[in-house]
Chain A
């Protein structure tokens, strides 16, 4: 059964997110090795990229479940995760590009991480495009599940093999600086709160999408 978020939790999320917005700009200090205030984008960009990647694996998981159980709820969960992942992937790509402009003075550098997020975007686009082209619900569920699973086995290549190939050609300009190497306490607390908040937010949105799918299906029956 699809349970909905408690009202208290949602209120907590709302206040928490507002607090994170405040903290991101007015409490946390700008990090070293970043241009001006640009490190603040990390509080938003990294959780979005993380959620987007997580959503992809969730979609793959439910795709696998669907192929085993043939329950349409599993397909609804997978496609909800894909839609969510796509949204956050777009956000992550855009925020990343803005950051790149400020940090390295160009909107796009084909740095390994940037390439990976664009490839993820393409995978999401392909998955959603496939779903859009198939009308029969079972066929749509089966074929998109199969595609999601093939795509998920190529992901290690996107995420790990390609960047490692590039490291032999280019220096890794990006995100080692934002890693956990030197996060001061104020940054750390906002960062991890933001990760938690974005995950909670996306979980809520995922649930809503699933419930809507179920209602649409029940109404149509």
Chain B
């Protein structure tokens, strides 16, 4: 459906960014030009969907990252070690070099008791405490997904666990990769860039420009319908979905060219509006997602 975009050399080069970067980083690690650094992946208050999305990565993929690019020291979902040994390894990283990736928001209510991520030396460890402890000392902090970036669904009104994005708890720069979930290319490309060259160029919301510089609306294959005033009145219909509530006109992400899951499809390709899941304020500021009475 989106062939016209794919044939633009500028866009097709952008599409390759993540895999080229990961390939370069793996090559540099192999030739000992850069060290294979430690990666800690924390799951805070969220759905672990960013871990699943990472596993869905393809060119670049999770396996090359975990076996050739970094040393994945801690991932609650994916590591074989069980709790105490796992928490020992996590806390053992303090004082050493590591990159921190965090998914999920930080629950601050009752001092963080609304999310206990483990127990270390007989004491419960809250997500609130963990993100502060590990965030301050990391070589780089990457917020993976909308919850970690800005609170996301975990902080939706009335925000019962008093969740916040991790930047609010850290007095240092956080690279934000919003998206619900974060596209695996966005994370793997950013990580590889950091390993190779340090911090990538960010916009005013701390998002890497290489993935978040363009409005969905500007690359949307349904844009010609918008320009001619042809609007869909129900899902599944041809036409621009602006009047059904599409948030493409305000959302910055490269979904129209990158697409999802092996690049087979994306929400607008599936005849449903963009719900602005990569936008600051999602979900509250992006609702209603679907509306039939907009005129």
A and B assemble together = no
Interfacial residues, chain A to chain B (CB-CB below 8 A)? none
The residues of B with any CB-CB pair to A shorter than 8 Å are: none
